[in-house]
Structures are given as structure tokens and as C-alpha cells.
Amino acid sequence: MCASRNKIKIIDAGALEPLLAFLQSTDQTLQEYSAAALLTLSASPINKAIIASSGAIPLLVKCLCEGTPQTKADAVTTLHNLSTLPSNLTTILAACHPVPPLIAFLKTFKKSSKPAEKCMAVLESLLGFEDGRNFVTSEEGGVLTIVQVLEEGSLLSKEHAVGALLTMCESDRAKYREIILKEGVIPGLLELTVRGTPRAQGKARELLKLLRDSACTRPEMEADTLENIVSNIVSKVDGDDSRMEKAKKMLAEMVQVSMEQSLRHLQQRSSW
């Protein structure tokens, strides 16, 4: 509680203005110190709106483009802190096209790292807006980068990544289904249904349902079968594609595991 009060007092004392000046300095050390200080101050809920309205967000986005690796990591984490206040999201989205720098950040940082986790969380929030979705699809490798996070990220990063893709597909299935499928998302989604967090598993299953070839209603038991959903998807995609071959192999393995589990369950019941 004392630490939180101190963060508020620092802002009240007028520290924000010089910090923003340092953030624009050509001295990279000053930039790093300023970014680190803003990161600390942005952790206070009361400071989030003040920092966002101060003009800090465009400077933080600029740091993502031009800063040192440490400055970039602190800048993206500060943006994440600010993004947890819903009213700040439109400010972030309007700030110098933040999506391309965020995608570039994910391309260069280890996808299982904490900064990448924060970056993917910000992207998931921004993709709730049409402008955010337009930015990510127009950026070269934008959707592919999110798919790579789905495959290579931490558990929380994967959860944010599948959430971002699901948001896209739910907003306009006809527009985004092929775009997402083209980037080879199926193997990552299949793995997530087995090894993801409970929230990520549910989102992965929902996205798989949206990615299947037909949105027509089918018998409930058939429609709810993961194997059926994925079979429907992979059967419509070129079988020579290595990612689809991997998906088919994973699907076969999942079916085999499911059958073995069912057999063990029957054996256990017969022994009761």
C-alpha cells in the first residue's frame, strides 16, 4: 500500500514531464532509465489514466521502434499496464499505429519470454477493435507471428494468442477464416486443446469449430467431436502442405490416445 501511494505522490510531484523528456533523449541510457521509471509508475491503477493522457503512449510506441532491447521490453510492459484500463485502449490504438511495432517486437524477442507475454496481451486487447484487426492483417507476417506465439509462447502467451485469433474469427468468420488457416494454425490449436490452460483449451476448441469448412448445423454429437471438426478442416486443405500433414498426424495420434483411454476405462469398469 505504501509503495502504491509513493507512485501516486511521484506523479503528483510533477515527475512525469521530465520523464517524458528523458524518454525522447538521444542518450539511450536516459531512455532506459525513463522507460523503467514509467513502467514502475504505471503499475498504480490511479496513474494509468494520467500517464495515458500525458502523451506518453506515442513515445512508448516510438521506443518499440527505436529503443534498446531493455527499453523496448520496459515500454511494452508499460503499454500492457496501461491497456488494463479499458478507456486507454482507444488511446493506444490511435497512437502512431502501434500494431506493427508490437508485431515486430514479437518477431525479435523470444516468444516464451515475459515481455512477449505482455506484448501478446496488448495485441489481444487491440484486436477487439476493427482497426486493430485491419492493422494486423495488413502487416506482413502479422497473423503468422501470432500463430508462432501460439506454438512457441509461454502458457499465458498461448492463451492470449488463441484469444486474439478467436476474436478475429468471431468478428467476421468469412473474412478471417482463410487468412488464419493459411498460416498453418491447426497443429498449434490441436496441441493447445491438450496442453493449454483450461481457458486456452476452451478457446482453441471454439476456434476449431469456426475454422471448419461449413458453418451449417450438424447432429450435436458429431458437431461436438474434436476429431470430426479437425478432419473437416484438414480434408479441405492441400495435403502436400507440411503443416497440414503434421495436423493429420497429430489428429491420428489424438484419436489413438482417445481410443486407448476409452479401452482402459472399460477395463477398469469391468474389474469393479
What's 149-169 look like in SS3?
A: HHHHCCHHHHHHHHHHHHHHH
Q: How many CB atoms lie within 10 A of CB 182?
A: 14
Residue 240 lies in a domain: no
**Is residue 261 situated within a structural domain?**
no
Tell me the C-alpha distance between 25 and 119, whole Å: 24
Q: What is the pLDDT of residue 272?
A: 46
18 in a structural domain: yes
Q: Judge if pTM exceeds 0.75.
A: yes
Range of the domain at 54: 1-81
Structural domain count, the chain: 1
Domain with 9 in it: what CATH number?
1.25.10
* 13 found inside a domain: yes
pLDDT at 250: 58
Q: What is the CA radius of gyration of the chain?
A: 22
What is the reported pLDDT for 184?
A: 87
For residue 239, is it within any domain? Answer: no
Average confidence (pLDDT) over 202-228: 67
Residue 252 lies in a domain: no
Instruction: Tell me how far apart the terminal alpha carbons of the chain are, to the nearest angstrom.
Output: 56
Task: Please give the average per-residue pLDDT across 29-55, as a whole number.
Answer: 95
119-143: average pLDDT? 95
Distance of alpha carbon 112 from alpha carbon 106, whole angstroms: 10
Residue 211 domain-assigned (yes or no)? no
Residue 95 has a pLDDT of 79
pLDDT of 204 strictly over 60:
yes
User: Is 128 part of a structural domain of the chain?
Assistant: no
For residues 231-252, average pLDDT: 56
